[in-house]
């Protein structure tokens, strides 16, 4: 096939190209403008038109059938396509520009919203009624609410504490009137009930007619600042109320802070002191000290409890204790120092006094120590002397102990001697007494009066000697604590009767009366020793009574809770009696009272001593004597009816 480019073909080609270009432009605009359907129709029309050109063009090219085009018609089509393409080319930039501007606007709005929502401060807008219209995310987060809980539903006033409600109510009219309000301190209640301190600035948006449409507010969270302020307030209160003078100064010694304590201590008011140099307080001779302090402060160290002198307003010098500390700024740099000073003038004076007293006391102590040392030396000497004496005493004690041991040995020997001698003495004595009594009684034949009297003397002497030996043995046994108590049951009456038998003869011979007031009573005690005691009383009475009566009487004392039953036995005589002063001596051994009968009345001098010992030590009783000199005596013994039972006896 031969391909020849005819004018018609060119026309067709041109027409197709223009229509296609216009269609492409229209396709681009579909996405940009809002009217998509219209643009789609235009694109479709253009494409259809292009197709209508392509078919005859194809036929021409393949030459199947000769195409006779309507040239005019084609020219009109071409003109229309051109007009459309030109129109589109003119319109399209307008649409594109608008899209760019819209895109830019959208971006800006997004950015604005982001800034609005996430600003470090809260934003909200309220309508005329005070209801939330808008609120940013930051403020919502602070308050703890969701946006849809707040917008259109809550009023700003609902969030305020009662105190802030009052403040807000006072301020809101002014806001409407003046159009804006600045730095209003309010307290909001968070959803969880806690308090949020805020600083609020607001402006009013007016309607066209000048009425209030809405208000816009900026809100800053000042909780931290509030907290700091409170802490600062507490600190400054402490500083202000402190008795210590508290000063702040910079490194050039300029006074920056001056509390009440400082006013009191140094005499300057805060107005007088602030801005002036600390040097006004320092005595000239201590300027060097100030440099030392500042050097320490610069190195970051504290100066603690420095005792020094300062000058008050008016020139008075005072003693102070200083503590100087560096104050660092936020970067840690030392630019200032705090000075805490305390008046220690009184303490210093007291200390000085004390020191003087101490010195005085030390002197005294020294003096006293010297005295004491002297005394101590004397004491040591005395002690040595005493120790010598003690040594001597110890030696003497040893000697005494040896002597005592020897004495005890001797005592035992004595007892042994007495025990053996008693038997040896008594046996021949018994013979003397026995044989002289049967001779005197003329059993072996009649004897003359003189022989009888001599035999009577032998008999009397023998009996006396026997009594003496018996008494000595008894006394030595009692004193050695070796007497045996022999308990027997017997009748009181029988015992007294037996005692009477022993003296009846003598009583009769002396022409005395014997009166008995006896009763029966069961006893349990040492019968032999009781008999011996009663007999001693009776024989004494007989011995010392020349005329009148001897009475033997007994009485019973019934048992009481604190005292066992007792028996009292009395011997009453009408004899010579005993002087009161002598009664006490009566019971001592070998005491023989002065008496007109002394020569007439033989005795061993042991009788009453032994009797007392027997009654007290063996029979657990008591012995008493009452007497009137020249008119007679009464001897009474009282013993428990049952010895060794219920223990206490009849004493007391």
- 488-491/334-343 β-pairing: unpaired
DSSP for 254-298, please give it.
Answer: BEEEE-HHHHHHH---HHHHTTSBGGGGS-GGGHHHHHHHHHHHH
Task: Please state the closest distance from residue 569 (CB atom) to another protein, in A.
Answer: 22
Rounded to a whole number of angstroms, the minimum distance from the CB of residue 479 to another protein is 18
DSSP state of 485: P
- Measured between its terminal Cα atoms, the distance across the chain in Å is 183
Shortest gap between Cβ of 422 and another protein (angstroms)? Answer: 7
Q: Taking the complex as a whole, how short is the minimal distance between the CB of residue 535 and another protein, in angstroms?
A: 14
Strand residues in 303-403 grouped as ranges (E): 303-311, 317-328, 334-343
C-alpha 77: how far from its chain's center? 117
Give per-residue burial for 598-627: e unless 16+ CB within 10 Å, then b: eeebebbebbbbbbbbbbbebbbbbbebeb
- Smallest distance from the beta carbon of 456 to another protein, in angstroms? 13
The smaller minimum CB distance to another protein, of residues 251 and 416, is found at: 416
Cβ 399 to another protein, closest distance in Å?
38
SS3 (DSSP) at 357: helix
Q: Distance between CA 110 and CA 588 in Å, rounded?
A: 142
Nearer Cβ to another protein (437/595): 437
Nearest distance from residue 533's CB to another protein, in Å?
15
The token pair at 564 is 């066992």
Residue with smaller CB distance to another protein, 394 or 420: 420
CA distance 138 to 120: 7
Q: Tell me whether residue 192 or residue 427 sits nearer to another protein (CB atom).
A: 427
Measured from the CB atom, is 221 or 474 closer to another protein? 474
- As measured in angstroms, the least distance from the Cβ of 447 to another protein is 14
What is the rounded distance in angstroms from the CA atom of residue 341 to the CA atom of residue 245? 5
- Chain residues binding another protein by CB under 8 A are 419, 422-423, 426-427, 429-431, 433-435, 437-438, 441, 443-444, 466, 470, 484, 486, 528
The residue (of 166 and 505) whose beta carbon lies closer to another protein is 505
Asked if 483 and 519 count as a contact pair (C-beta separation under 8 A), the reply is no
Q: Please, which residue, 149 or 479, has the CB nearer to another protein?
A: 479
Encoding tokens for residue 337? 């120092």
Let me know the angle formed at the C-alpha of 559 by 555 and 563, rounded to the nearest 5 degrees: 110
Asked if 606 and 476 touch (Cβ cutoff 8 Å), the reply is no
Q: Which is nearer to another protein, 216 or 528 (CB)?
A: 528
62 or 444: CB nearest another protein: 444
Q: Give the shortest CB-518-to-another protein separation in angstroms.
A: 21
Least Cα distance to 305 among 277, 258, 339, 334 occurs for 339
């Amino acid at each position: 096939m031969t391909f020849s480019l005819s004018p018609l073909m060119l026309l067709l080609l041109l027409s197709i190209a223009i229509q296609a270009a216009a269609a492409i432009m229209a396709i681009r605009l579909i996405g940009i403008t809002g009217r998509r359907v219209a643009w789609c129709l235009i694109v479709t029309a253009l494409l259809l038109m292009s197709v209508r050109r392509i078919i005859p063009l194809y036929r021409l090219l393949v030459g199947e059938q000769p195409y006779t085009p309507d040239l005019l018609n084609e020219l009109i089509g071409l003109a229309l396509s051109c007009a459309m393409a030109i129109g589109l080319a003119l319109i399209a930039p307008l649409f594109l520009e608008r899209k760019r501007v819209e895109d830019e606007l959208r971006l800006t709005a997004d950015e604005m919203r982001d800034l609005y929502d996430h600003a470090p401060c809260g934003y909200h807008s309220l309508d005329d009624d005070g209801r939330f219209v808008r609120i940013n995310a930051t403020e919502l987060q602070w308050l703890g609410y969701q946006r849809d809980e707040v917008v259109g539903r809550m009023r700003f006033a609902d969030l305020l504490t009662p105190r802030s409600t009052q403040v807000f109510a006072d301020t809101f009219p002014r806001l409407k009137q003046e159009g804006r309000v600045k730095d209003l301190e309010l307290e909001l209640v968070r959803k969880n009930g806690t308090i949020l301190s805020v600083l609020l600035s607001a402006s009013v948006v007016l309607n066209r007619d000048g009425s209030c449409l809405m208000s816009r507010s900026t809100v800053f969270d000042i909780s931290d600042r509030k907290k700091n302020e409170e802490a600062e307030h507490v600190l400054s209160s402490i500083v202000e109320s402190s008795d210590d003078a508290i000063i702040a100064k910079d490194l050039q010694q300029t006074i920056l802070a001056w509390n009440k304590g400082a006013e009191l201590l140094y005499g300057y008011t805060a107005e007088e002191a602030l801005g002036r140099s600390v040097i006004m307080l320092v005595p000239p001779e201590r300027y060097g000290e100030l440099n030392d302090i500042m050097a320490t402060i610069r190195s970051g160290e504290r100066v603690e409890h420095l005792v020094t002198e300062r000058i008050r307003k008016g020139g008075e010098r005072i003693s102070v204790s200083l503590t100087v500390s560096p104050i660092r700024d936020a970067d840690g740099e030392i630019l200032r120092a705090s000075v805490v000073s305390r008046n220690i003038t009184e303490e210093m004076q007291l200390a000085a006094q004390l020191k003087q007293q101490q010195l005085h006391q030390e002197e005294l102590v020294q003096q006293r120590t010297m005295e004491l040392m002297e005394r101590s030396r004397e004491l040591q000497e005395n002690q040595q002397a005493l120790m010598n004496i003690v040594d001597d005493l110890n030696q003497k004690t040893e000697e005494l102990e040896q002597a005592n041991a020897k004495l005890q040995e001797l005592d035992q020997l004595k007892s042994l001697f007495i025990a053996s001698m008693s038997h040896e003495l008594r046996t021949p004595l018994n013979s003397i007494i026995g044989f002289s009594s049967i001779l005197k009684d003329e059993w072996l034949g009649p004897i003359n009066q003189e022989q009888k009297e001599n035999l009577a003397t032998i008999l009397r002497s023998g009996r006396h000697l026997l009594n003496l030996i018996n008494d000595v043995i008894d006394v030595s046994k009692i004193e050695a604590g070796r007497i045996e108590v022999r308990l027997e049951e017997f009748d009181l009456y029988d015992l007294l009767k037996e005692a009477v038998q022993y003296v009846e003869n003598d009583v009769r011979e002396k022409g005395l009366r014997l009166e008995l007031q006896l009763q029966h009573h069961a006893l349990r005690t040492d019968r032999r020793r009781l008999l011996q005691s009663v007999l001693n009383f009776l024989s004494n009475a007989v011995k010392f009574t020349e005329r009148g009566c001897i009475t033997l009487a007994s009485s019973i004392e019934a048992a009481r809770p604190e005292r066992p039953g007792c028996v009292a036995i009395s011997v009453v005589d009408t004899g010579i009696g005993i002087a009161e002063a002598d009664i006490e001596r009566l019971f001592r051994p070998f005491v023989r009272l002065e008496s007109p009968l002394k020569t007439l009345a033989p005795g061993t001098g042991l009788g009453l001593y032994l009797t007392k010992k027997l009654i007290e030590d063996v029979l657990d009783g008591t012995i008493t004597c009452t007497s009137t000199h020249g008119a007679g005596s009464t001897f009474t013994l009282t013993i428990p009816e049952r010895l060794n039972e219920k223990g206490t006896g009849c004493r007391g």
